[in-house]
Amino acid sequence: MALEPLRVGASTWAAMISRRKSASGFTLIELMVTIAVLFIFLLMAFPSFATLRQRSAIRGAGDQVLSFWNQARFESVKRNQLVKVGVRQVPGGGFCLGAATTSNEADSTPCDCSVAAPVTNACDVARYPADQSEWQSVSLAGASLGGSTSLSDLKAVVIEPKRTTLTEATDQGTLSLAGPPGQLAYKLNLNVDRLGRGLLCESSTATARLPDYDKRRCAD
């Protein structure tokens, strides 16, 4: 028995072609338009991400500095020894914090926190950071702690172990941190009073504000 040839109507053929076109996916023009729209959205969102990074970095650095100070006070009590705390600038524009035991109440020389194992004047209590990248581009903007007058004349302060106060009341002062370079300029201070109490606050000279520091603002 002979088989008749398969006959396909015009409407059926048109439907098949339409299904093939719809199954072929995006056209090149549609893909380019989609990419362009996504690129515009990314450009619009970039400033927000950059500002978020700035805020996160300055908050993290401020918390770390306050934590370091409190750790030094705790170690003074724990060891029943005088502990000096200082800050040093390191090559390349970075800075570090160091804490070391001392027998001199007037010891104003910061320990060498720039390396893990210096030949002399080691930070035998604590040092931070192990690597400058941990600051996330936060910089030291100023210092008056220890009677310092400039970043080129940084001095250590000494904590006594009984009450964790400063051995020299005139050593009270501030360490100022500036946020990473960017669209906004954030600035936090660690204020240390003569009783050895550390307070983290937002500098009154900051041109950008951190919402969670509205009630914690202070002068440099």
Residue 109 has pLDDT above 90, yes or no: yes
The verdict on residue 27 lying in a domain is no
CATH number at residue 117: 3.55.40.10
Phi, then psi, of 102 in degrees rounded to 5: -150, 160
Q: How many domains does the chain have?
A: 1
- Given this model, what pLDDT does residue 79 score? 98
Among candidate residues 176, 196, 15, the one with its CA nearest the CA of residue 87:
176
Judged by DSSP in three states, 128 sits in strand
**pTM score above 0.85:** no
Gap between the Cα atoms of 156 and 110, Å rounded: 5
Residue 14 has pLDDT above 80, yes or no: no
- Joined together, the tokens standing for residue 28 give 């090149």
Residue 5 has pLDDT above 80, yes or no: no
| Cα angle 144, 145, 146; round to 5 | 110
Q: Give me the domain span that covers residue 185.
A: 53-218
The verdict on residue 43 lying in a domain is no
Residue 176 confidence class, pLDDT cut points 50, 70, 90: very high
Phi, then psi, of 183 in degrees rounded to 5: -65, -35
Are 164 and 73 in contact by the 8 Å Cβ rule? The answer is yes
Task: Give the DSSP letter string of 145-202.
Answer: GGG--STTS---EEE-TTT--BSSGGG-EEEEEEPPSSSS--EEEEEE-TT--EEEEE
The verdict on residue 10 lying in a domain is no
Helix (H) or strand (E) segment spanning residue 75: helix 28-79
The verdict on residue 40 lying in a domain is no
- Given this model, what pLDDT does residue 214 score? 82
Which residue is listed with tokens 């370079």? 181
